[in-house]
């Protein structure tokens, strides 16, 4: 088996993994599923995610990721790995040789991300089921406005889940509900952008040439500030200010955009309380406080 054969016969990979000599090396990048580098006899490598044995992945889990990768790759304006195999329990994509970020690469990444966002989307949401981490993510397509869609499909579902698992108090959810009634205050009225959707720094893969690739998306049409907000989480993406400056050269942002960042970060913080529990409650409250709620 080599890459050409794999592209022509993707459904045969599980059989080859069992009966052929394919070197399988565990790698990082699979916090939910098991990730590995598969290397064929001719030296070709691919990146594989497999769902743990003796369990069943959520319906269309890998299909959603594959659809998002293809959609982000479609415009050809930013590096996104090619999807090679999409099966219910297995996703295989192009191998990207990891490297270190560079200033020039950060500039390119900022400009490329701006170009991606500018290609737009037909609606807020997406035509495929969504996931963010291990959780389902509502993706029902909507014409907008963004403020209504974001409250209904990105904030309230995870606030309610977080209350149900004990991570948030009812008073905390009330504050989120109050924010959803005022989201139009944080909306410039832009049309939907083509988003990665979960663009924290760990989902930017820097290659051996210092270029930034998009991986592990929760792709959908949304507000472009969402991607920029999450790039600043958990220490921030490498050369963050260069990324943002280069972005604005291509696709200038509304003057108020920095004041609106907590609104967009709040979604991912609510995802964290929904998955990991009350340890992230204060992060949720901090974002609400920053918005005046």
What CATH number has the domain bearing residue 82?
3.30.200.20
Angle subtended by helix axes 103-119 and 224-231, to nearest 10: 160
**pLDDT value of residue 180:** 97
Q: How confident is the model at residue 29 (pLDDT cuts 50, 70, 90)?
A: low
For residue 214, pLDDT over 80 is answered with yes
**pLDDT value of residue 110:** 98
Q: 130 and 55: one domain?
A: no
Of 115, 105, 106, 47, nearest in space to 76 by CA: 115
Q: 25 and 138: one domain?
A: no
**pLDDT value of residue 22:** 85
Q: 265 and 161: one domain?
A: yes
- Tens of pLDDT, residue by residue over 223-263, are 999 999 999 999 999 999 999 999 999 999 999 999 999 99
Last-in-domain residue among 70, 94, 118: 94
Q: 174 and 284: one domain?
A: yes
For residue 221, pLDDT over 70 is answered with yes
Q: What percent of the chain has pLDDT over 90?
A: 81
Q: 144 and 269: one domain?
A: yes
Q: Are 282 and 143 in contact (CB under 8 A)?
A: no
For residue 175, pLDDT over 80 is answered with yes
For residue 55, pLDDT over 90 is answered with no
Give the Cβ contact number of residue 151 at 10 Å.
21
Mean pLDDT of the chain: 94
pLDDT (average), residues 31-53: 87
Q: 87 and 130: one domain?
A: no
Q: 23 and 155: one domain?
A: no
pLDDT (average), residues 191-204: 97
Last-in-domain residue among 94, 128, 162: 94
**pLDDT value of residue 101:** 97
Spatial separation of the C-alpha atoms in residues 10 and 188, rounded to whole Å: 44
Q: 212 and 107: one domain?
A: yes
Sorted by sequence, the CB contacts under 8 Å of residue 198 that are 6+ apart come out as 132, 133, 216, 217, 218, 230, 268
**pLDDT value of residue 31:** 61
Q: H-type helices in the chain, by residue range?
A: 3-8, 13-19, 61-73, 103-119, 146-150, 156-164, 170-180, 224-231, 240-250, 261-276, 281-290
Paired tokens of 176: 């989120």
Q: 84 and 119: one domain?
A: no
Number of domains the chain contains: 2
Q: How confident is the model at residue 46 (pLDDT cuts 50, 70, 90)?
A: very high
Q: 172 and 230: one domain?
A: yes
Q: 54 and 83: one domain?
A: yes
**pLDDT value of residue 173:** 98
What CATH number has the domain bearing residue 223?
3.90.1200.10
In terms of residue numbers, what domain contains 153?
103-290
pTM for the full model? 0.93
Last-in-domain residue among 64, 94, 124: 94
- Tens of pLDDT, residue by residue over 139-153, are 999 999 999 999 999
pLDDT (average), residues 200-205: 96
Paired tokens of 220: 């959908």
Q: 169 and 277: one domain?
A: yes
**pLDDT value of residue 30:** 58
């Amino acid at each position: 088996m080599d890459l050409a054969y794999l592209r022509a016969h993707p459904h045969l990979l599980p059989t080859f993994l069992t009966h052929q000599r394919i070197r399988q090396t565990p790698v990082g990048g699979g916090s939910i599923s098991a990730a590995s580098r598969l290397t064929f006899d001719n030296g070709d490598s691919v990146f594989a995610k497999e769902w743990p044995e003796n369990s069943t992945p959520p319906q269309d889990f890998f299909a959603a990721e594959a659809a998002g990768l293809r959609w982000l790759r479609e415009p050809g304006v930013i590096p996104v790995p090619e999807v090679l195999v999409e099966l219910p329990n297995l996703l295989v994509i192009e191998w990207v040789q990891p490297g270190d970020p560079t200033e020039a690469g950060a500039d390119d990444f900022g400009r490329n991300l701006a170009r991606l966002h500018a290609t737009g989307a037909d609606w807020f949401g997406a035509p495929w089921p969504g996931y963010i981490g291990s959780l389902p993510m509502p993706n029902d397509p909507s014409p907008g406005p963004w403020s209504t869609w974001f409250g209904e499909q990105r904030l309230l579902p995870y606030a309610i889940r977080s209350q149900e698992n004990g991570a948030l108090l009812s008073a905390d959810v009330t504050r989120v509900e109050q924010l959803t009634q005022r989201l139009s205050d944080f909306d410039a009225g832009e049309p939907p952008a083509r988003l990665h959707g979960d663009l924290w720094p760990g989902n930017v893969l820097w290659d051996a040439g210092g270029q930034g690739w998009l991986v592990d998306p929760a792709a959908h049409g949304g507000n472009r500030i969402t991607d920029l907000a999450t790039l600043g989480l958990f220490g921030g993406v490498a050369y963050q200010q260069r990324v943002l400056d280069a972005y604005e050269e291509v696709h200038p942002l509304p003057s108020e955009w920095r004041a609106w960042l907590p609104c967009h970060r709040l979604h991912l913080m609510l995802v964290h309380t929904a998955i990991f529990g009350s340890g992230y409650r204060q992060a949720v409250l901090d974002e609400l406080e920053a918005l005046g709620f």
